[in-house]
Structure 1
Amino acid sequence: MKNNIAIFRKELGMTQKQLAHAIGMSVEDLNAIENNTLEPTLIDANNIVKALKKEYIAEVFMLKELD
């Protein structure tokens, strides 16, 4: 799953540490999600979206196309 976390996080002037703290996640896990090496749970994805002040999960996360 691709995402725009870094773009929206930087627009808000947030560091990974600040965002991770805001959603109760480790910086390591947030970094892995942001770098597409870990897929978030639906709850974590929703928490990230809210912390980034977005309304829809699809604004932040994009599903990969199936072949």
Structure 2
Amino acid sequence: MKNRLKVLRAEHSYTQEDLAEIIGVSRQTINAIEKEKFDPSLPTAFRISKLFKLPIETIFYFEET
């Protein structure tokens, strides 16, 4: 799954550690999501969506390869 998490995080001046602490996951989880090696759980995706005040599908999206 593709995502805009790194861009959104930078726009809000959050480090990976900052974002991880705010949404209750590890920094490694944020790193893996940003590198598209890991898809977030639904609760994590909802917390990210709520934090950035954007619909989930604006942050995370599927592209067929």
TM-score (norm 1): 0.88
Supply the AA of the counterpart residue of 2:7.
I
> Is 1:36 aligned to 2:36, yes or no?
yes
Structure 1 unpaired stretches of 5+: none
CA distance in 2, matches of 1:53, 1:11: 13
Could you say which residue in structure 2 is the equivalent of 1:15?
A: 15
SS of aligned partner of 1:40: coil
Q: Matched residues, percent identical?
A: 38
C-alpha root-mean-square deviation of aligned residues, in Å? Answer: 1.2
Equivalenced residues, count: 65
TM-score (norm 2): 0.90
Structure 2 unpaired stretches of 5+: none
Runs of 4+ in structure 1 deviating by more than 6 angstroms, as ranges, are none
